[in-house]
Amino acid sequence: MYTRKATVAASVGLHARPAAVFVRAVNQTGLPVTLTKDGSATVDGRSLLEVMSADFRRGTVVEIAVGTCDADEKAIRKAVDHLADLLHTDLTDPS
């Protein structure tokens, strides 16, 4: 399983609009992405409610992982890397 750590850079953390942008990106991958921070339970990255409730504040280091699925390793790595890069931004909606 490929995992990667990233630091939340959005000024309000993963709350409200930044959380929605991130969750939309997770859902576009079609993968069962999870997020974990030290000392907390794993949350489903596809769930806006779970992501917002997890209190991922600015500066929080999270681990991004993909659960069991049929995707090939290259696709998983590409998706996780993209999501990690996204967390390093202010998560503003590109539209």
Q: Is there a domain that residue 94 lies in?
A: no
Model confidence, pTM: 0.93
Q: Is there a domain that residue 44 lies in?
A: yes
pLDDT value, residue 4: 97
pLDDT value, residue 67: 85
Axis-axis angle for helices 16-29, 73-87 (nearest 10): 170
Whichever domain contains 76, its CATH number is 3.30.1340.10
Q: Is there a domain that residue 93 lies in?
A: no
Q: Is there a domain that residue 70 lies in?
A: yes
Asked whether the beta carbons of 18 and 95 are under 8 A apart, the reply is no
Per-residue confidence of the chain (95 residues) as pLDDT tens digits?
789 999 999 999 999 999 999 999 999 999 999 999 999 999 999 999 999 999 999 999 999 999 888 889 999 999 999 999 999 999 986 54
